Amino acid sequence: MKNVLLFLIQIFLLWAIYQFSSFIVGNLDFPIPASVLGMILLYILLSSGIIQIRYIEKSASFLIRHLALFFVPFAVGLMNYAGLIKTTGMQLLLMIAGSTIIGLLITAGLTQSLSRREKERTHHEQSHSHSH
Amino acid sequence: MNSLILTLISIVLTITVYFGATALSRRVVSPFTTPILTATIVMIVILSSFDISYEQYSSAKEWITSLLGPATVALAVPLYKNREIIMEKLMPAVFGLVIGTLSTILSAVWISKTLGLSDTIQATSAVKAVTTPVAIEAVVLIGGDPALAAAFVITSGIFGAVFGPALLTVTNISDPFSRGLGIGTVSHGIGTSQAVAEGPVTGAVSSVAMGASAIITSIILPWVYPLIQL
């Protein structure tokens, strides 16, 4: 019972941070999603030691594990687009698939090759300084 | 009273279908058993066969999705725990994010043009990779349609969640950091929900990429989009 209560308090804390962020974003002329601002806020609270990681860890890992569930109702909204899917569904899918694949491989490929190169460089520098 | 019961049933149904979908994904490992895909299809089939419209389902939707904000905020925890690994790769990440976001926008508009899709669809395609709240605001600035944007965003998210991990694997992109960055950049939160299944680093980086690509897109789009039209 005590554990359940603690768990709910943790979720409430995360919810409160989110509500606060929504309020800030609503009064701000900057394109940032409230949830992302909330993430930054929680990160600051964690690094400054105001919130200890053990206070929220249980509920955080629970919510993250089931992140996909919270998107299902939005995805079900695609049922309202049956007409569009029938007429131009194939072209739209081609556009979404093509662009997602291009963006994904460029982003991840570029990041991986750049970070490998950087690692090799620092490795070289280190082995260089060792030989001196 | 009736609508209250419908709401309750819809909530229980969604949760049950979701857990069924995750159980299936554990038993049959394949892109096609990605929970967000199978759960969505099953839910649409059930609602349609009982003649329940999306509008009738919307009160259940409100309840379930009210945890989406707190869940995204919670991603700060893996981010904080893995902060050293993430800081180490900050420069490659910034390059990857900016070039990746640009190529996502350009390729979407270019493919739409090539396929002869309407001007509205071309403009809307430019925001398809970023999280819904930002997409529906950014799309208005370049003459796209917000409702259509939400549909594109969801489809991109599902596509990225379903095929992203497998595509990265066949192209030998094995670094968890780079995988997370790619998935979050092109398929926002829905992709992130799948990235967290790969591990804490991939999930945390994916959520950072989701936020960063949303900010980059909405800042550069009003400048870049007119240039694409030239």
- Boundary-marking domain end, from A65, A89, A106: A65
pLDDT tens by residue, B126-161: 999 999 988 988 898 899 999 999 999 999 999 999
Chain A residues near residue B50 by CB distance under 8 angstroms: none
Domain residues for A86?
76-132
**What is the reported pLDDT for B19?**
97
Q: Using CA atoms, how far apart are residues A37 and A46, in angstroms rounded to an integer?
A: 14
Chain A residues near residue B137 by CB distance under 8 angstroms: 31
Q: Does B13 touch chain A (CB under 8 A)?
A: no
Report residue A121's pLDDT band, with 50, 70 and 90 as the boundaries: confident
- Look at residue A70 and tell me if it is in a domain: no
| A33/B194 Cβ within 8 A | no
How much is the average pLDDT of B109-126?
A: 96
Using the predicted structure, report yes or no on whether residue A125 has a pLDDT greater than 80: no
Using the predicted structure, report yes or no on whether residue A120 has a pLDDT greater than 90: no
Distance from CA of A121 to the nearest CA of B (A): 13
Count of A–B CB contacts within 8 Å? 328
**What is the reported pLDDT for B27?**
96
How much is the average pLDDT of A68-92?
A: 94
pLDDT tens by residue, A8-51: 999 999 999 999 999 998 898 877 888 889 999 999 999 999 99
Specify the higher pLDDT residue, A123 or A110: A110
What's the sign of the alpha-carbon dihedral B212, B218, B221, B223? negative
Of A62-66, B11-15, B43-47, B121-125, which gets the smallest average pLDDT? A62-66
Specify the higher pLDDT residue, A84 or A2: A84
Identify whether residues A22 and A60 lie together within a single domain.
yes
Report residue B86's pLDDT band, with 50, 70 and 90 as the boundaries: confident
Q: Using CA atoms, how far apart are residues A98 and A86, in angstroms rounded to an integer?
A: 19
Chain B residues near residue A36 by CB distance under 8 angstroms: 72, 131, 210-211, 214-215
Q: Using CA atoms, how far apart are residues B40 and A75, in angstroms rounded to an integer?
A: 6
| B36/A68 Cβ within 8 A | yes
Q: Which of residues 78-107 of A touch B (CB under 8 A)?
A: 78-81, 84, 88, 91-107
**What is the reported pLDDT for B2?**
77
Which residue reads 């043009």 in tokens?
B113
| A108/B47 Cβ within 8 A | no
pLDDT cut 90: percent of chain B above it:
87
Report residue A71's pLDDT band, with 50, 70 and 90 as the boundaries: very high
| A42/B69 Cβ within 8 A | no
Q: Using CA atoms, how far apart are residues A37 and B212, in angstroms rounded to an integer?
A: 11
Question: What helix, strand, coil percent values describe chain B, rounded to 5?
Answer: 85, 0, 15
Q: Using CA atoms, how far apart are residues B6 and A128, in angstroms rounded to an integer?
A: 70
**What is the reported pLDDT for B170?**
97
Using the predicted structure, report yes or no on whether residue A132 has a pLDDT greater than 60: no
Identify whether residues A59 and A11 lie together within a single domain.
yes
If one counts the domains in chain A, the total is 2
Identify whether residues A97 and A61 lie together within a single domain.
no
Average pLDDT of chain A is: 90
Identify whether residues A57 and A93 lie together within a single domain.
no
Identify whether residues A15 and A45 lie together within a single domain.
yes
**What is the reported pLDDT for A15?**
96
pLDDT cut 70: percent of chain A above it:
94
Using the predicted structure, report yes or no on whether residue B221 has a pLDDT greater than 60: yes
Q: Using CA atoms, how far apart are residues B101 and B30, in angstroms rounded to an integer?
A: 27
Chain B residues near residue A108 by CB distance under 8 angstroms: 96, 100, 168, 173, 178-179, 181-183
Nearest-CB residue to A96 (from B103, B156, B193): B156
DSSP letter for A98, please: H
- Boundary-marking domain end, from A65, A93, A113: A65
Q: Does B207 touch chain A (CB under 8 A)?
A: yes
| B76/A46 Cβ within 8 A | yes
- Look at residue A103 and tell me if it is in a domain: yes
Contact B143, B119 (CB under 8 A): yes
3-state secondary structure of A132: coil
Using only the alpha carbons of chain A, give its radius of gyration. 22
Q: Does A71 touch chain B (CB under 8 A)?
A: yes
Identify whether residues A18 and A59 lie together within a single domain.
yes
